Structure 1
Amino acid sequence: MKFVLLFGPQAVGKMTVGQELAKITDLKCFHNHMTIDLLVPLFGYSSEMWRLCHLIREEIFKTTAKSDLYGMIFTTVWAFNDRKDWDSVEKICQIFRAEGIEIYFVELEAPVEERLKRNRTVHRLQHKPTKRNIAESEHHLLSTMETMRLNSLEGEITEKNYLRIDNSSMSAKAAALTIKERFQL
Structure 2
Amino acid sequence: MRFVLFYGPPAAGKLTTAQALSELTGIPVFHNHITIDFAKTLGLDFDAPLFWELVDQTRLNTLKFAAQNGISLILTYVFAAGDDEPYIYQVKHLVESQGGQMDFVRLHCPEPELHARIGNPSRKALGKLTDGDILKQLMSEKDFLHKISGVDSLEFDTTQSTPEETARQVAEKLELLQVTL
Q: TM-score, normalised by structure 2?
A: 0.89
* 1:179 matched residue in structure 2: 170
Separation in 2, partners of 1:180, 1:110: 20
1:159 matched to 2:151? The reply is yes
Pair 1:139–1:94, CA change in 2 (3 A): same
* 1:65 matched residue in structure 2: 67
Separation in 1, partners of 2:2, 2:93: 13
Separation in 2, partners of 1:130, 1:145: 16
Separation in 2, partners of 1:130, 1:173: 21
Q: Cα offset for 1:118?
A: 1.8
Q: Cα offset for 1:43?
A: 0.9
Separation in 2, partners of 1:179, 1:99: 23
1:147 matched to 2:141? The reply is yes
* 1:169 matched residue in structure 2: 160
Separation in 1, partners of 2:108, 2:9: 7
Q: Cα offset for 1:96?
A: 0.6
Letter in 2 for 1:27: I
Separation in 2, partners of 1:81, 1:66: 30
Length, aligned pairs only: 174
**RMSD between aligned residues:** 1.6
Aligned-pair identity (%): 26
Letter in 2 for 1:44: D
* 1:116 matched residue in structure 2: 115
Q: TM-score, normalised by structure 1?
A: 0.87
Q: Which blocks of at least 5 consecutive residues in structure 2 are unaligned?
A: 177-181
Q: Cα offset for 1:124?
A: 2.1
Question: Per the alignment, in what secondary structure is the counterpart of residue 150 of structure 1?
Answer: coil
* 1:129 matched residue in structure 2: 127
Separation in 1, partners of 2:38, 2:99: 30
* 2:57 matched residue in structure 1: 55
CA contact (8 A) 2:67 2:99 kept: no
CA contact (8 A) 1:107 1:151 kept: no
Q: Which blocks of at least 5 consecutive residues in structure 1 are unaligned?
A: none
Provide, for residues 90-137 of structure 1, a one-character-per-residue CA deviation record: whole Å limited to 9, x for no partner.
0111111101211111000101221122222222222x2253xx4xx3
